[in-house]
């Protein structure tokens, strides 16, 4: 079959090529190999005659390959003639003849330099990210002050709507997860403490761990995954469809209309969720102590009162609004950074969740140092 | 109509018979009949919401029909295997109203996507063909590495047309190709379609609102109203018709009756 497509015979310094069959997309692969084979002939050639009389069909693929054949021989200094081409295909050939070959740059995959460039860009992007984060924080503060100056302009309905989404609707899943985490810590504690008869200290461990660290961390991570990603996706798709530009042209500040209610909703919602989550975790811990460790609820509560102080509770609750602020800021910055494509929306949403969880944990570390030095 | 797909001595490439399409209670198309002949540019008009795009989407299989029969290139698409269906699908190209370019792929990748999936060609040949196709639609190689979000409206339409032509189809469906373009851009796009139709021997099915397109490039016009094709014929037939909707459409204040009708480019 493929021999039918193109046959060539060289007579002296003249090459006669005759095409045949269908020069179409389906045969393009075979045809390309034949054409490159002919162009690579080693004989010194002066003239090339291409007879296209037997070609039944020609589409853009075939026509381009013919054009490439002609150009290949012309570039070698041969006199090239094409004969027998059907009248119908003349217009197509003329069209392709006009294609400028210098524009055809091969698509080059990046070498090692491209890998270094990617690393460089990634490092530089840490700086740009930090700047845009601080920008958003500054803008948010300005807007907040402005809204305090004229409270009527605050979007109360939007705040309530967001609170419903990120607070109220998150309650069941937060309760369930923190409850399970409380159960697991208590079970592990009892299992290991029992070996040296220190079962009762499991109450201290559960109480302190849950109130100081775990309650707020689990809630923050859940909220980053649940609401932070939603914020990024919402703002990102609004950005993609020029809705944010539309707001701006109508004289609204997107930070005031979209970002402020969202972040405030998180700052109000996360401490409440942290409180609920901590209680659920303590409840789960107490339940396991009773069922698995044989510690009666009265004993558990008695021990809990001795083990924890109000400070432990305060430490957890003080951290909560700051975590909320971090999550909200990261989500909104990433949302605003979305460009036109669907892929970019996915990338920013991923970045939003990863960055906010990372920053939440880093912030938690700083708080640990801070509280240790103020003696809480 | 003759069963062998020939009518008036011309080959029928799209044959629509008694097609009914509806959404819920509402019937959008009611037993529609339509023929599209090989090598013509058919302009399909109708009021907004009359179901022009619905018929196009039904023909290309994006919407289910409640009754009727559609034959494309002589094949009843309901009666063939998935494999044969895909073969037919490769023989048509579609230009969607908003372009529908893949936003995460560059222009080059958008144009190579159908080729890469269907044919095993060398990267060099595909790269060369991208430039050739872009030049055919009046762009140049500089847009190759741009992403769809960086293109203007007119460029998006042209790239989308180039993608519709990527596999050298026999039929192209155009959904309002000139909407959103300025009159000069729209005129150029019309000429482009006419030129490509001549060079590639395409059959063009064009849903449009643009009276200028209908005047300048369309060989035949089909009109959809009240869920039926109420008329099909040349511009002269349309202008001569006494149907009230046709009179309102073609003789309305925005039409150009009274001024000379420019000659169709010679084919």
Question: How does strand B228-233 pair with strand B220-225?
Answer: antiparallel
| Residue B132 counted as domain residue | no
The ipTM estimated for the assembled molecules is 0.73
Q: Which of B168, B169, B142, B143 is nearest to B157 (CA)?
A: B143
| Residue B114 counted as domain residue | no
pLDDT value of residue B2: 40
Give the integer Cα–Cα distance in Å for B185 and B155: 10
A150 to A145, A155, A261: CA distances (angstroms) = 9, 12, 15
Give the integer Cα–Cα distance in Å for A41 and A43: 6
What is the average pLDDT across A328-354? Answer: 91
Give the integer Cα–Cα distance in Å for B265 and A91: 15
Contacts of A28 in chain B (CB under 8 A): 119, 121, 125
Give the integer Cα–Cα distance in Å for B207 and B184: 19
**Prediction pTM value:** 0.67
User: Which residues face B29 on adjacent strands?
Assistant: B21
CATH classification of the domain holding B205: 3.40.50.300
Greater pLDDT, A178 or B59: A178
Residue A101 has pLDDT above 70, yes or no: no
| Residue B102 counted as domain residue | no
Q: What is the pLDDT of residues A153-171, one digit of tens each?
A: 888 899 999 999 999 999 9
Distance from CA of A65 to the nearest CA of B (A): 8
Q: What is the pLDDT of residues A244-285, one digit of tens each?
A: 888 888 878 899 989 999 999 999 999 999 999 999 999 999
- Quote the DSSP letter at residue B255: S
What is the average pLDDT across A311-338? Answer: 94
Q: What is the mean pLDDT of chain A?
A: 88
Residue A109 has pLDDT above 50, yes or no: yes
A265 to A109, A273, A376, B263: CA distances (angstroms) = 46, 12, 28, 65
Residue B125 to residue A95, Cβ atoms within 8 A: no
Ordered by start, the domain boundaries in chain A are 2-103, 139-374
Residue A64 to residue B132, Cβ atoms within 8 A: yes
Question: How does strand B41-46 pair with strand B203-207?
Answer: parallel
Helix segments in chain B, DSSP class H:
52-59, 82-89, 107-118, 123-136, 153-164, 183-200, 211-216, 235-240, 244-250
Residue A209 has pLDDT above 80, yes or no: yes
> In this structure, what token pair is assigned to residue B175?
């959904």
Q: What is the pLDDT of residues A18-56, one digit of tens each?
A: 887 788 887 888 888 888 887 777 777 778 888 887 778
A vs B: CB pairs below 8 A: 84
pLDDT of chain B, 267 residues: tens digit per residue: 444 445 566 788 888 888 888 887 888 888 888 888 888 888 888 877 778 888 888 888 888 888 888 888 888 888 888 888 888 888 888 888 888 888 878 888 888 888 887 777 888 888 888 888 888 888 878 888 888 888 888 888 888 888 888 888 888 888 888 877 778 878 888 888 888 887 778 888 888 887 877 888 888 888 888 888 888 888 888 888 888 888 888 777 666 554 444 545 544
CB B167 within 8 A of CB B90: yes
pLDDT value of residue B60: 83
What total of structural domains would you count in chain B? 1
- A104 — pLDDT class (breaks 50, 70, 90): low
Ranges A54-63, A182-191, A194-203, A289-298: which has the least confidence: A54-63
**Domain range spanning residue B246?**
9-91+170-177+201-256
| Residue B123 counted as domain residue | no
| Residue B20 counted as domain residue | yes
CATH H-level superfamily of A2-103: STAS domain (3.30.750.24)
Spell out which chain A residues touch chain B, with contact meaning CB-CB distance below 8 angstroms: 24-26, 28-29, 32, 59-61, 64-65, 68, 88, 91-92, 95-96, 98-100, 103-107, 339-344
In sequence order, what DSSP letters do the residues of B207-227 get, joined into one string? E---HHHHHHT-SEEEEEETT
Burial class (CB in 10 A: 0-12, 13-18, 19+), A111: exposed
Chain A residue with minimal CA distance to B195?
A91
Q: What is the pLDDT of residues A78-97, one digit of tens each?
A: 888 888 777 777 777 877 77
3-class SS of residue B33: strand
Order of strands across the sheet that contains B41-46 = B92-95, B171-175, B203-207, B41-46, B220-225, B228-233
| Residue B117 counted as domain residue | no
| Residue B4 counted as domain residue | no
| Residue B212 counted as domain residue | yes
Percent of chain A, pLDDT > 70? Answer: 97
């Amino acid at each position: 079959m493929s021999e039918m497509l193109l046959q060539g015979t060289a007579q002296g310094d003249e090459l006669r090529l005759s095409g045949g069959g269908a020069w179409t997309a389906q045969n393009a692969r075979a045809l390309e190999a034949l054409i490159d084979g002919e162009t690579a002939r080693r004989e010194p050639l002066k003239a090339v005659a291409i007879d296209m009389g037997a070609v039944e069909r020609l589409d853009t693929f075939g026509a381009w390959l013919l054009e490439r054949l002609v150009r290949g021989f012309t570039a070698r200094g041969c006199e090239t003639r094409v004969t027998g081409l059907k009248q119908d295909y003349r217009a197509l050939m003329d069209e392709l003849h006009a294609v400028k070959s210098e524009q055809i740059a091969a698509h080059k995959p990046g070498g090692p330099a491209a890998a270094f460039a990617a690393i460089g860009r990634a490092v530089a992007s840490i700086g740009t990210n930090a700047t845009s984060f601080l920008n958003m924080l500054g803008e948010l503060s300005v807007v907040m002050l402005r809204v305090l100056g004229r409270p009527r302009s605050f979007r109360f309905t939007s705040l309530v709507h967001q609170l419903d989404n990120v607070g109220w609707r998150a309650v069941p899943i937060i309760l369930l997860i923190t409850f399970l985490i409380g159960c697991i810590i208590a079970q592990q504690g009892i299992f290991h403490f029992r070996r040296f008869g220190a079962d009762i200290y499991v109450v201290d461990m559960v109480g302190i761990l849950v109130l100081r660290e775990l309650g707020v961390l689990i809630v923050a991570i859940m909220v980053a995954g649940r609401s932070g990603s939603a914020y990024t996706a919402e703002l990102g798709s609004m950005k993609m469809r020029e809705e944010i530009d539309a707001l701006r042209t109508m004289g609204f500040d997107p930070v005031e209309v979209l970002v402020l209610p969202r972040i405030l909703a998180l700052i109000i919602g996360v401490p409440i969720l942290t409180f609920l989550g901590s209680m659920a975790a303590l409840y789960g811990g107490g339940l396991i102590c009773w069922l698995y460790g044989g510690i009666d609820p009265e004993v558990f509560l008695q021990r809990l009162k001795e083990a924890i102080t109000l400070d432990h509770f305060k430490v957890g609750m003080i951290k909560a609004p700051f975590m909320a602020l971090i999550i909200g800021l990261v989500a909104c910055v990433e949302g605003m950074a979305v460009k036109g494509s669907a892929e970019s929306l996915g990338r920013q949403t991923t970045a939003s969740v990863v960055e906010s969880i990372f920053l939440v944990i880093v912030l938690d570390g700083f708080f640990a140092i801070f509280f240790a030095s103020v003696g809480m | 109509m003759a069963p062998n797909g020939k009518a008036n001595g011309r080959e029928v490439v799209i044959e629509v018979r008694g097609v009914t399409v509806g959404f819920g209670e509402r019937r959008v198309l009611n037993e529609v009949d339509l023929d599209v002949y090989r090598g013509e540019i058919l302009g399909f008009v109708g009021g907004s919401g009359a179901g022009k795009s619905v018929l196009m989407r039904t023909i290309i299989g994006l919407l289910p029909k409640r009754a009727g029969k559609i034959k494309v290139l002589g094949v009843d698409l309901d009666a063939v295997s998935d494999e044969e269906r895909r073969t037919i699908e490769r023989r048509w190209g579609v230009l969607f109203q908003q372009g529908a370019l893949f936003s995460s792929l560059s222009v080059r990748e958008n144009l190579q996507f159908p080729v890469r999936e269907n044919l095993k060609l060398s990267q060099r040949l595909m790269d060369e063909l991208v430039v050739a196709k872009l030049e055919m639609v009046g762009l140049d190689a500089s847009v190759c590495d741009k992403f769809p979000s960086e293109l203007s409206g007119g460029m998006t339409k042209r790239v989308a047309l180039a993608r519709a032509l990527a596999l050298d189809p026999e039929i192209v469906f155009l959904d309002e190709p000139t909407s959103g373009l300025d009159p000069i851009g729209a005129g150029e796009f019309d000429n482009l379609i006419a030129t490509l139709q001549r060079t590639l021997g395409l059959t063009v099915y064009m849903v449009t609102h643009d009276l200028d397109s209908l005047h300048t490039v369309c060989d035949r016009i089909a009109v959809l109203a009240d869920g039926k094709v109420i008329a099909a014929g040349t511009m002269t037939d349309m202008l001569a018709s006494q149907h009230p909707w046709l009179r309102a459409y073609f003789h309305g204040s925005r039409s150009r009756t009274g001024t000379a009708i420019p000659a169709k480019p010679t084919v």
